[in-house]
Amino acid sequence: MAYLFTSESVSEGHPDKVADQISDALIDNFLAFDTDSKVACETLVTTGQVVLAGEVKSKTYLDVQKIARETINKIGYTKGEYMFDGNSCGVLSAIHEQSDDINRGVDRASKEQQGAGDQGMMFGYATNETENFMPLALDLSHRILIELAELRRENKEITYLRPDSKSQVTIEYSDDNVPQRIDAIVVSTQHDDFDEDETMLAKIRKDIVNILIPRVVAKLPEQIQVLFNNDIKYHINPTGKFVIGGPHGDTGLTGRKIIVDTYGGKGAHGGGAFSGKDPSKVDRSAAYATRHIAKNLVAAGVADEVLVQVSYAIGVVEPMGIFIDTYGTCSFNMTDGEIAEKVSEVFDMRPFAIEERLKLRSPMYSETAAYGHMGRNNETVTKTFAQPNGEATTLDVELFTWEKLDYVDKVKEVFGL
C-alpha cells in the first residue's frame, strides 16, 4: 500500500538556526588562526540578547561580540522593529577554558592516537532517490527555503519577507519506496505588518504558490519536476499573521534542529548536535564520515539505500564498531555484516584519520549551519578572517568534503563491482 512521508526544514532566520550560525562562526574564526583549537560553544538568542557559553582551548583571541553581530546582520536581522538586530542586541560571553579532564582523553603525543572527544553513536545515510543522494522530502524542504531567502534578499518580486520561515513537504511513495507525487507543502514565513490581515494572507499565499514554487521547480531535475501537480495541498502561513518572529518570537538554542541538519527523519540519528563543536568531537566528525561512507556505497552501486552507524568511547582511539543496514537493497549476495567488515577495511574511522581525510581542521563550518549539513555542494571558497589586533588571514577553504564521491572506485574494487 502506498504511504506518505514528511520532512521539514527551517530557514537561516529561524531562532535555533541563528544560534547555530553564531556558534559555527566562532568555530571558523578559532580554526582560522589556530587549527588545533578545541571548542564547544553554545549560543542562546532571545529578544535583544545573545548569550555565548562553552569551553575553549586555543592560542588565539577573538572578539566574540563582533563575530556574533556580523553573523546576525548577515542573516538579515538589521532592523530595530524585529526586536532583535545585530547592531543593537546585547552579547554576553560566558566562554571559559576547556576542562583538562576532557582534554587529556583527546590529545596524545602522537596525533594518530587521538582519542574520541566523547562517547556515543553517529549515523550516516544515503539514498539514490535524488541526485545528491538525500531523502527527497528534506531536499525539497531545504530548496524551498533557500529560494525564499533569495527572494527576500532580491526584494523585488516579493518585498515584505522577514528572515524567519519554515517549510514542510509530504511525499507519496509506492510500495517499492519510489516517490510518486507531492501530496502537501507547508510554508510559514515571517512578514512585514499589513493593514488588512485577510488581504495580507491572500497575497502571501498567491506569491508563495505562483512565484516561489515555480522558481524552485525550475531548478529541479526533470524526474522530480513531474512530481509537482495541481492537486498539491498548500498550507501557507496556516496560523495566519506571522509578524513577530525570529529570536523575539521564540528563544533559539544551538543544536535544536538535528533532524533538519541531517536526513529529515530518514535513517537514524545518534542524538548529538553538530554546530559549535570542533572536529575532535565525534558527534560532528564521525557523522560526516558516516555520510561520506553511505554516499560512496550507494554511488558505487552496493545498495540503493544505506545506513551506517559508528560508535565510540571517550578517549579511545578505535571505534567500538561499524554497523551497516542496506534495507534489503544490496545489489549482490552479501550480508550487511559482511559489508560492514569490508567498509572497515576501506575507511579508517579513528578520529584523527577522519579529520585528515575530510580536512576538518579548516574553517568550513559556517556554511553548514543552515539548510542542512548533508547533500550540499563540495566546492572551494576564499574566506578572510580578522583578529582584534588587526591581524588578518585569507584562506582557500574546501566545503562539504564529506559529499565527495572520491571513494567510489575503491569501494567498487573491494566489492568487485
What contacts 356, CB < 8 A, 6 or more positions away?
Answer: none
Mean pLDDT of 60-89: 96
Please state the residue numbers annotated as binding site for K(+): 42
Please state the residue numbers annotated as binding site for L-methionine: 55, 98, 250, 281
Mean of per-residue pLDDT scores for the chain: 95
pLDDT confidence bin for 341, thresholds 50/70/90 = very high
pLDDT of residue 110: 59
CATH tag, 16-109: 3.30.300.10
Architecture of domain 3-9+135-245: 2-Layer Sandwich (3.30)
Mean pLDDT of 170-191: 96
pLDDT of residue 112: 65
Asked if the model's pLDDT at residue 370 lies above 80, the reply is yes
pLDDT of residue 115: 76
Asked if the model's pLDDT at residue 105 lies above 60, the reply is no
Report the alpha-carbon distance of residue 148 to residue 136 in Å, rounded: 18
Nearest to 107 by CA among 23, 205, 36, 3: 36
H-helix segments, 219-265 = 222-225, 246-249, 258-261
Please state the residue numbers annotated as binding site for ATP: 14, 164-166, 241-242, 250, 256-257, 273, 277
pLDDT confidence bin for 101, thresholds 50/70/90 = low
- Residues of the chain with pLDDT > 70: what percent? 96
A 10 A CB-CB count for 120 gives 20
pLDDT confidence bin for 104, thresholds 50/70/90 = low
Mean pLDDT of 354-364: 98
Encode pLDDT of 2-35 as tens digits: 999 999 999 999 999 999 999 999 999 999 999 9
Least confident of 287-291, 317-321, 363-367: 317-321
pLDDT of residue 197: 84
pLDDT of residue 106: 63
Q: Can you name the residues that pair with 293 across neighbouring β-strands?
A: none
Mean pLDDT of 185-196: 94
Please state the residue numbers annotated as binding site for Mg(2+): 16
Residue 252 contacts residue 17 (beta carbons within 8 Å): yes
pLDDT of residue 258: 98
Asked if the model's pLDDT at residue 269 lies above 90, the reply is yes
pLDDT of residue 381: 98
Encode pLDDT of 121-156 as tens digits: 999 999 999 999 999 999 999 999 999 999 999 999
Please state the residue numbers annotated as binding site: 14, 16, 42, 55, 98, 164-166, 241-242, 250, 256-257, 273, 277, 281
pLDDT of residue 195: 82
pLDDT of residue 118: 81
Encode pLDDT of 106-122 as tens digits: 665 556 667 787 889 99
Report the alpha-carbon distance of residue 358 to residue 360 in Å, rounded: 5
DSSP letter at 89 equals S
- Residues of the chain with pLDDT > 90: what percent? 90
**Sequence spans of domains, the chain:** 3-9+135-245, 16-109, 120-128+256-415
Asked if the model's pLDDT at residue 50 lies above 60, the reply is yes
Residue 363 contacts residue 395 (beta carbons within 8 Å): yes
Instruction: Identify the sign of the CA torsion 277, 281, 287, 290.
Output: positive
pLDDT of residue 113: 66
pLDDT of residue 102: 56
pLDDT confidence bin for 298, thresholds 50/70/90 = very high
Asked if the model's pLDDT at residue 36 lies above 80, the reply is yes
Topology, domain 120-128+256-415: GMP Synthetase; Chain A, domain 3 (3.30.300)
Rounded to 10 degrees, the C-alpha dihedral 87/89/94/97 comes to: -20
